[in-house]
Structure 1
Amino acid sequence: MFYSLISGAIPAFEHFGVFRFIFSAEWDPHPEAEQYGALSFITGTVLTSFLALVFCLPFSLPVALFTGEYFKGKKVASVISAVIDLLAGIPSIVYGLWGFYTLRPLIMDLGLSSQGFGILTASLVLAIMIIPYAASLSAEFISMVPRELKEGAYSLGATRLEVIRNVIFPASGSGIFASYILALGRALGETMAVTMLIGNTNNIPYSLGDTGNTMASVIANQFGEADGLKLSSLIAIGLLLFLITAIINFIGKLIMKKLS
Structure 2
Amino acid sequence: MTDLSWMIDCVWRPPKRPLGAKTPPLDKTLPENLKYYKYWGFTIYRTYYGPSSDEHWETLLGAIRQQTRLAFGYYEVEWFRKKDKAWQKRRYTSAAEYDRDLSIIKDLFRLFPREHPSLLSGLSIEGVREICLQEHSEAEEKMAGADFNFVLVADEAVLNGIPHGEFAVKAVGYDWDKLDGGWGWERVSTGSLLEFWGMLLEFRESGIGKYYTFQYEGPVEGLESYLWAGNLSAPRFERCSQPQTAQREVGAKGFTFD
- TM-score, normalising length from structure 1? 0.30
- Relative to total residues, which structure has the larger helix share, 1 or 2? 1
Larger Rg: 1
- TM-score, normalising length from structure 2? 0.30
- Relative to total residues, which structure has the larger strand share, 1 or 2? 2
